[in-house]
Every structure is written in C-alpha cells, then in structure tokens.
Copies of this chain bind each other. A is one copy, B any other.
C-alpha cells in the first residue's frame, strides 16, 4: 500500500465549479491524495473557502491563474472541470506537452470533450469543431465498472456524463448480454436535481423556477444522447437509437433514470438479477434492489452508489429499469475520484463515502 508521505499530487483546472466543490470535499477526505494546485480564470487569487463556502476553515488554499508548465511540474494528476469545449484546445496543448516531459502524468476531464469517439458528433451535438483525433482515440471512457482494465492503463479519462452514467450502468448487463430488442428505440426518461444546471444563474436554476415544480427540457436534443447511444451500441455491438427525455426537478442532488426496453425473449426478475450480479461481481458501488423495490434519490445522495431497480410488466411485456445516482458523485466528481484510484492502483473506493466498510466487504 502507498505510503501516506508519497501522496498523489492533484491539480484542478476550473476550480470554482459545483463539481470542483465536490472534488475538493472528496479529496479532503482522501488518505493518499493532496491538493497542490487550483486554477480558476473567473476567481483567480481567491481563498477556496470564499468560492466554496462549506470549505471555509477546512482547506487553506488559493486559486491561481492557469499555467501549463506549473501544472505539469506540480501535479501527478489533473482534473479538468470546465464547460464543454472551453478548455478543449488548452487540454490538447497541455496533454501533448506533458506527455513529452512527464509521461506518467494523468488527466481526467469532467467535460464532454473527449467522450465521443466520432469527432463529427461534436459539431452536431455541442456546436464546436473537434480536431484532436489522437486524443479522442486515446481517451478512455471512464465508466469505472465497465472499463476498469482500460482505465488502469489510460493517461486520459473522459469522465462520463451524469445521465449516461446512470442510464448505461442500469442497463449495461442487458446490452452486454445481447438481451435487448433494438429494433425499436429505447426510451429513457430522466429526472435530475437542480445541481445539474450548474452554478451560473440561468433560467433553469433559479429557486423561483425550480421549487415546487418539475420541467422537461431538451427532449430528444440533449447532448448526452450520442454518448448513451455510443456506449450502449458498443456493448450490444450494433447501432442503437434512444429517445431521451430529461427533466429538472426541485431537489438539489441526485438523479433517476427510467429506461423502457423490449427484451429479445421472455425473462423473469430472477433471471435478470442473476445477470446483473454476474456482470457487476465485486463492484462495490452497484446495488441492485430486491423484487418490488425501487431506487430512490435519498438512498444514493452524497454517495458514489448506483442503485438499480428492475421490473418486468407482464401486462405489456415491457422491461423497466431504473437507475439512481448522485449526479455530482457517481455522475461526476465521485466517479472521477474512483477513476483516479484505479489509475493509481489504489482501492477504487478510497476517499469515497463508506470507503472503510466497502473496502472491508470487498476484500
């Protein structure tokens, strides 16, 4: 086991985001990591406790302006937490430069900039041009439970989106075992807490718009669609299409996705659960609900768990799969730390909630 004195030196670019707040919280509890650099364009030179008030008197750090040389020199691993497209060029430069000087340095991007394998998709879904095909190819999609082996060897992780994490994890065993009829589009209805709308004021994150309300948005045009289709397609080895209907709800943290599937053959709950248990053997963060029990936000809030509920509706022959995660933990910062742990050979639960007991259970 890694000695505490040889801690992983961590840098964060985009340190003022909501997600970075959670990264910092998790890193503050991580036994083998130490935060050495926080870069923020918008909040340059500020106390971290002024940016993320809950960290006041806990972390004594100031943000700096981004400088690639400094980052390469000081860090063992760098998290990017910038809006999609905004740090794409910077990231390309930084990574390519770093790989020459300090080949062991690792990068984990929490934006969508390296998630889609097809560079053209960026134009269509995100509205910007992506030219760095080398990095797109090299990046490993950081869905920890599915790509564990690849993550271990990666230098660049494209940390998955929150909706894709929840959706894909909840149905992966069925797609991986080719059990889904993909003739018809799969339907995913998703409900996310307001933290999903970020920290910058906009029409989706004002209290008066959110409280005592629920709102569908971006039906069929949300940029997480190609990510879901890409990954489920890879699992089932075919092209699939998905209808995705997201909502913003009045709670702060967490999300629930419900996927409606037609299976290739008749299956009962017990069959399906067995596939899931096999697929997710020794995966500490996956919890499958008992028959007739469904996942709910409050059981995963502030944890890195993905709770999964399974129901077969006999009257209509539809298979309903529910996934539930904390969008900022398993859907962002939590999974990013899990990926860091895997990359550095640590127990994957290190620094994450319930690590003590999960480590014990799994070892």
Would you call A194 and B208 a contact (CB within 8 A)?
Answer: yes
Q: Which residues of B contact A212 (CB under 8 A)?
A: 193, 211-212, 251-254, 297-298, 301
A282-312 interface with B by 8 A CB criterion: 287, 289, 294-303, 309, 311
Among A54-62, A131-139, A263-271, A330-338, the one that faces the other chain is A54-62
How distant is the Cα of A320 from the Cα of B247 in the complex, in angstroms? 14
A–B pairs, 24, beta carbons within 8 Å? A29-B355, A53-B296, A54-B300, A54-B303, A56-B287, A56-B289, A56-B299, A58-B358, A185-B316, A193-B212, A194-B207, A197-B207, A199-B208, A201-B202, A201-B206, A207-B207, A207-B210, A212-B253, A216-B256, A216-B322, A243-B260, A243-B315, A243-B318, A250-B250
Q: Which residues of B contact A243 (CB under 8 A)?
A: 260, 313, 315-316, 318, 320
A178-233 interface with B by 8 A CB criterion: 184-185, 187, 189, 191, 193-195, 197, 199, 201-202, 205-217, 219-220, 225
Smallest CB–CB gap between A249 and chain B, Å?
Answer: 6
- Please name the residue on chain B nearest to A295 by beta carbon: B216
A234-276 interface with B by 8 A CB criterion: 241-243, 245, 247, 249-254, 256, 258, 260
The answer to whether the Cβ of A154 comes within 8 Å of any Cβ in the partner chain is no
Q: Which residues of B contact A253 (CB under 8 A)?
A: 212
As for how many copies of this chain the complex holds, the number is 4
Would you call A252 and B211 a contact (CB within 8 A)?
Answer: yes
Would you call A251 and B316 a contact (CB within 8 A)?
Answer: no
Would you call A219 and B320 a contact (CB within 8 A)?
Answer: yes
Q: Nearest 3 pairs between A and B by C-beta? A: A201-B201, A185-B316, A220-B313
